[in-house]
Amino acid sequence: MVWITDGSEAFSPGMHALSDGFDFTYGSDNGDGSFHMMSGSHAGEDLTVSQIQADYAGYEAYGWVGVTGDGTTSVSGHIGSIGGNPVFADATVDSTTAEVH
């Protein structure tokens, strides 16, 4: 996921659920270097990182990296790098807990 701080709630402390109708712009990773935008002026479009940089110049962008699960089984993953920067984190999620080491 990518979140772009182009909405007023971007600077409001606390957690904001996607279903709350908040006004961040966000999109999901297509796995090919592009993001499928789910809100904002490009909702429903696939944008490359270069397009996001050009269209949202001056805003901060944040990425979510981790693992997801179905809530019944344990899922683990290793995150070796983000954007070419070494991270070396192991993430685990199961029906009751989530951990990052």
Q: How do residues 23-75 score in pLDDT, each as one tens digit?
A: 678 888 888 888 999 888 899 999 998 999 999 898 888 777 667 777 788 88
pLDDT at position 21 is: 55
DSSP the chain: -EEE--SGGGGS-S---GGGT---EEEEE-SSSEEEE-SGGGTT-EEEHHHHHHHTTTS-EEE-------SSS-EEEEEEEETTEEEEEEEEE-SS-EEE-
The answer to whether the CB of 90 falls within 8 A of the CB of 98 is no
- Find the range with the poorest average confidence among 15-19, 39-43, 44-48, 89-93: 15-19
